């Protein structure tokens, strides 16, 4: 494992970073550096990698027969945002990189650093919600159990 200070985040290929190593990087990076990373050219690549991994880290046995469309709005400090959707159905999680136009059961809105912390197991949804860093619209019970549907590696 590389020392955090030695990582060149602008050239790091996040597709080659294992989930546990990714969790460690997010845990050890100052929020300022995460914000810089997520406002630069790597933003889309990092978000795409995190969402791609949701499909493989999904735990169908925990989700059961649930059928839910979750819309993720990842902001970057101003009003600009990236929109992704995860559809949990038939024992699978599929990801779309755009708004489908369908009504989601749940919409989650947060800044990119908070999203990376949540997705890497370095923050909890309730803590982000109660500190107003996560906005929830829709099924609050689904939001409360969402992280259990994924095998999120811990740093």
pLDDT of 66: 93
Q: What is the pLDDT of residues 99-133, one digit of tens each?
A: 999 999 999 999 999 999 999 999 999 999 999 99
pLDDT of 131: 96
Structural domains present in the chain: 4-149 (3.30.1050.10)
3-state helix, strand, coil in the chain (%, to 5): 45, 25, 35
Instruction: Name the strands in the sheet holding 68-75, side by side, starting at the edge strand that comes first in the sequence.
Output: 92-96, 81-89, 68-75, 106-111, 134-138
Element spanning 82, H or E = strand 81-89
Give the angle 78-146-153 at the CA atoms, nearest 5°: 90
pTM comes to 0.90
Q: Is 118:125 a contact under the CB 8 Å cutoff?
A: yes
Q: What is the pLDDT of residues 58-94, one digit of tens each?
A: 999 999 999 999 999 999 866 668 999 999 999 999 9
Calculate the average pLDDT of the chain. 90
More confident residue, 54 or 8: 54
């Amino acid at each position: 494992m590389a020392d955090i200070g030695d990582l060149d985040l602008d050239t790091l290929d996040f597709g080659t970073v294992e989930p546990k190593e990714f969790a460690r990087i997010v845990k050890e990076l100052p929020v300022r550096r995460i914000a810089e990373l997520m406002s630069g050219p790597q933003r889309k690549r990092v978000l795409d990698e995190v969402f791609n991994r949701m499909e493989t880290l999904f735990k169908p046995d925990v989700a059961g027969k649930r059928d839910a469309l979750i819309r993720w709005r990842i902001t970057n400090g101003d009003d600009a945002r990236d929109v992704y959707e995860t559809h949990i159905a038939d024992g699978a999680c599929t990801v779309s990189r755009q708004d489908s136009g369908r009504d989601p059961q749940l919409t989650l809105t947060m800044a990119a650093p908070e999203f990376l912390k949540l997705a890497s197991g370095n923050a909890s949804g309730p803590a982000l919600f109660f500190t107003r860093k996560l906005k929830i619209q829709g099924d609050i019970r689904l939001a409360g159990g969402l992280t259990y549907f994924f095998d999120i590696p811990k740093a």
